[in-house]
Structure 1
Amino acid sequence: MEWSWFTSPDYWLSRLVFQRGLAGVYLVAFLCAALQFRALIGERGMLPVPAYLRRVPPRVAPSVFHLHYSDRFFALCAWTGAALSLALVAGAGDAVPLAVAMLMWALLWALYLSIVNVGQTWYGFGWESLLLEAGFLAVFLGNEDTAPPVLILFLLRWLLFRVEFGAGLIKMRGDACWRDLTCLYYHHETQPMPGPLSWFFHHLPKPLHRVEVAANHVTQLVVPVLLFTPQPVASAAAGLVALTQLWLVLSGNFSWLNWITIVLALSAVDGSLVADAPALPPPPLWYGVLVIAVTALVVVLSRRPARNLLSRRQAMNRSFDPLHLVNAYGAFGTVGRVRHELVIEGTEEPAVHAGTVWREYEFEGKPGDVRRLPRQFAPYHLRLDWMMWFAALSPAYAHHWFGPFVERLLEGDRDTLRLLRHNPFPDAPPVRIRARLYRYRFTTRRERRETGAWWHRTYVREFLPPTRLS
């Protein structure tokens, strides 16, 4: 059987970069799971996995944890995923036969799928499905035993197209500030997790903010179409996507969303523009048949995401099947004009009175101390900090987990306290906890010079009255 149409040797370097980069993202994701799960979804966590598994059948949330769950077993799965990811970053996938490399990528995907499907609120972010969809396609991309299959390369572009084009459409259909080019007057200040340069981005001239928004529309609504044109135009389009994502990396913390988008973009670059392709053997028959079958499956499953793109009621970050094989993406259809933050405080005093001394908990990434410059954490994902941002938007986002979170602070739970930057009660837990809602805004240049503060905050209202363990 003639396979010349099936593979494209010119993309051997693109495949290498894509696979190493994707394995790096997997590594970060598994480290996040291993280091944070006990407080969030562990047996004694805020949303325990065992209680969730009793409510949800395997067909709704396929996961190895339906067979057995313990914190020790979860940690074993997470650290196994991290070790396997590190091996693939180092090139282990190219040092073994094709079938073994595919099994390694399939195990990574299955382990992370198992985690996401029991992660509940903490794993409800679009980049979880994005990693799983890209990871599923990576299983069938091959290794040095064969040239990259054209069909899988096409599906990677189709994924990148949906990520970018979906994000562009949701903006144009959503907030009016995207259409009048003013969203960046607010976004750098109100985004979920500002970075160390966000203050400076916020204070760029407003005409430049409008140029940024216009350039974003071009990159997300025009450039993705060019991914399907002949080379070198497709490579240039992929390069523009990568450059735009690097700009976003500098301006804020968006977990691994920007990095996995960059990795996807690099898979569309023609490697022959950089180096000549080595001689690669033709693919075995079983591999070609499997790739064709997977391509047909993804094409069939793409109907709902494609229909979603065309819908006036376009949904962001939605999975259409429990395996997260083909999903809908999008971000910031609405941009907040005002930033609210929850400030958590505790006291050792048994009775609350006008002179009660309250001490504030500090989180790793979300704004708290007005004099502390936001730090860079992405691609690492601070799940609790992100959900605190959502809780400040509406108490509905905190309905299931905020009470258990406060309870664990009152108990002095070590796993929960490890998720925080500063515990003001190192010797014994507080008697009472309260939560207050503040409006935060970036200081002006003059305020920054006079006070040394990056933020200015104003009290809004009480979010949780002083609470103690019953």
Structure 2
Amino acid sequence: MEWMSADGYLLARELFQRGVGAVYAIAFVTVVQQWRPLLGADGLTPVPAFVARVPWRRSPSLFHWRYDDRFAAVLAWVGLGLSLAVVAGVPQRAGTPATVVVFALLFLLYLSFVNVGQVWYAFGWESILLEAGFLAMLLGGHDSPVPWPALLLVRWLLFRVEFGAGLIKWRGDRCWRELTCLDYHHETQPLPSVFSWWFHHLPAPLHKVEVAANHVTQLLLPFLLFLPQPFAGIAGVAVLATQGWLVVSGNFAWLNLVTMVLATAALPDAWLGGTGGPLGGLTPAATTDGVPAWFAVVVLLAFVVQVVLSRHPVRNLLSRAQRMNASYNPLHLVGTYGAFGSITRTRFELVVEGTLDLDPGEHSDWRTYEFRAKPTDPRRRPPQVAPYHLRLDWLLWFAAMTASPTRQHAWFAGLLERLLSGDPVVRRLLRTDPFDGRAPTAVRVRRERFRFTTPAERQATGAWWHTEAAGEVTGIVRR
């Protein structure tokens, strides 16, 4: 069907599909490395207990059929292998049927993890990745031109990600409208990056420029995505630039990376050097005169379904009570997105300590558990971990905002219990174990206020953070 062909987007399709494959690979690596201590049969929030109380229709997953840690590991490794095959372009070169099958399997596998992942997988970028993977399936392989309805759906997803994030900010914290949010955000974001200290100390006028540019990119330019070139391409380039800035200034897992991948769908091949340019070797010209009939039917059906489902995010965007991240169906398709509608002005951290003293008390030898990226040691520079997602470190940021994390977050109480028992699986989530595998006799949790040091303090002390005690959280908890 020639009328469905979008001319001049073969390279854009290739970059988008391989980019989605790369993000899937990162996501499955996090499953391989973190699933068992967080969600395994003996994890902090075990999957078997979850599937026993939540029916399949609410959380469709292969794990409703069967769950054990070995089965979960096999599915994760299969997902990683398929992801890397997409990055290498193997199913795309094999043709549209193979491309559809591989992306469908990736969607099914990752959906199975997300739908039983509970609080650890309750992030907007999980649904964005699932949507992007589903749409990548509808773009076809090298034996088919790019179907324009599928390309339009990718841009519609990018519009919802960007415009939703812009609206939630404008409607939310007044500092976004006053252009002052970045006076705080580089310091108080969940996991500051290796460059966040310098971004925090940029002049206040430049912070205002950052916020204003964000508003333009997220509230105005997304509408250009639905216009002919060069307007759609201009919007795509703006998204790539602003998301690249966020990659450097913070650790937001793969949120920025997957958004940049979506933006490639707005770039025409001519801007990428054309199929005869340096990137042209990624994909040959389509070998058919039009989209295969069977595939055209699949794409059109998916397009109609997505249009119908879009009524939910559209209503949300128009509502004054806009929700930040929400899925309206258990398949996580056509959801609504947004981030950081409100900004914290003060950073609190939970400092977890343990001791080997047989009679633990205030004067015992308390040693601090170091997490992989969460600030603890004031002299340790924040690391760069994105696009990898450290799920425990992220949730510890949320837990530090609450007055009683052990009561309000069941997983946090479970974490303390596992530290007391010396659980070797949970200890893998830590950066360092101060007791070299031995189980402490007691643990305690303190709350501290963290702020970036000033340039003068940094020069004098070598520390990246200044800390102040902000009270006890648990007292002494014995084994």
Task: Identify the TM-score tier after normalising by the shorter chain.
Answer: over 0.9
Amino acid at match of 1:364: R
* C-alpha deviation, 1:352, in angstroms: 2.8
1:341 matched to 2:349: yes
CA contact (8 A) 1:390 1:398 kept: no
Q: Which ranges of structure 1 fall in alignment gaps of 5 or more residues?
A: none
Other-structure match for 1:155: 153
Other-structure match for 1:447: 457
State the alpha-carbon separation in 2 of the partners of residues 279 and 92 from structure 1. Answer: 16
* C-alpha deviation, 1:228, in angstroms: 1.0
CA contact (8 A) 1:434 1:465 kept: yes
Other-structure match for 1:29: 27
Other-structure match for 2:285: 278
Other-structure match for 2:478: 468
CA contact (8 A) 1:9 1:280 kept: no
CA contact (8 A) 1:340 1:439 kept: yes
1:81 matched to 2:89: no
* C-alpha deviation, 1:398, in angstroms: 4.9
Q: How does 1:427-442 map to 2 (within 5 A)?
A: 427-442=437-452
* C-alpha deviation, 1:279, in angstroms: 4.6
Other-structure match for 1:104: 102
1:372 matched to 2:384: no
State the alpha-carbon separation in 2 of the partners of residues 254 and 279 from structure 1. Answer: 37
Quick one: which of 288, 295, 300 aligns to 1:287?
A: 295
State the alpha-carbon separation in 2 of the partners of residues 279 and 151 from structure 1. Answer: 17
Amino acid at match of 1:319: S
Other-structure match for 1:416: 426
Q: Percent of aligned positions with the same letter in both sequences?
A: 55
Other-structure match for 2:67: 69
Other-structure match for 1:40: 38
- Summarize the Cα distance change of 1:74–1:398 in structure 2 as closer, same or farther, 3 Å threshold: farther
1:166 matched to 2:176: no
The Cα offsets for residues 170-225 of structure 1, whole Å up to 9 and x where unpaired, read as: 00100000000000000000000000000000000001001110111001001101
* C-alpha deviation, 1:97, in angstroms: 3.0
* C-alpha deviation, 1:354, in angstroms: 3.5
CA contact (8 A) 2:225 2:236 kept: yes
Q: How does 1:95-244 map to 2 (within 5 A)?
A: 95-244=93-242
Question: Helix, strand or coil: the match of 1:467?
Answer: strand
Give TM-score, length-normalised by structure 2. Answer: 0.96
Other-structure match for 1:55: 53
State the alpha-carbon separation in 1 of the partners of residues 210 and 11 from structure 2. Answer: 32
Other-structure match for 2:280: none
* C-alpha deviation, 1:107, in angstroms: 0.1
The Cα offsets for residues 421-452 of structure 1, whole Å up to 9 and x where unpaired, read as: 01101141101011111000000000000000
State the alpha-carbon separation in 2 of the partners of residues 227 and 280 from structure 1. Answer: 28
Other-structure match for 1:263: 261
State the alpha-carbon separation in 1 of the partners of residues 408 and 443 from structure 2. Answer: 16
Question: Runs of 4 or more off by more than 3 Å in structure 1?
Answer: 395-398
Question: Helix, strand or coil: the match of 1:9?
Answer: coil
State the alpha-carbon separation in 1 of the partners of residues 336 and 17 from structure 2. Answer: 23
CA contact (8 A) 2:225 2:235 kept: yes
State the alpha-carbon separation in 2 of the partners of residues 353 and 260 from structure 1. Answer: 48
Other-structure match for 2:281: none
Q: Which ranges of structure 2 fall in alignment gaps of 5 or more residues?
A: 276-283
Amino acid at match of 1:428: R
The Cα offsets for residues 24-68 of structure 1, whole Å up to 9 and x where unpaired, read as: 000000000111011100000000000000000000000001110
State the alpha-carbon separation in 2 of the partners of residues 278 and 77 from structure 1. Answer: 34
CA contact (8 A) 2:94 2:142 kept: no
Amino acid at match of 1:328: T
Quick one: which of 395, 416, 425 aligns to 2:435?
A: 425
Question: Helix, strand or coil: the match of 1:278?
Answer: coil
The Cα offsets for residues 308-348 of structure 1, whole Å up to 9 and x where unpaired, read as: 00100000111100000111100000000000000000011
CA contact (8 A) 2:146 2:291 kept: no
Other-structure match for 1:303: 311
State the alpha-carbon separation in 2 of the partners of residues 265 and 181 from structure 1. Answer: 25
State the alpha-carbon separation in 1 of the partners of residues 213 and 95 from structure 2. Answer: 44
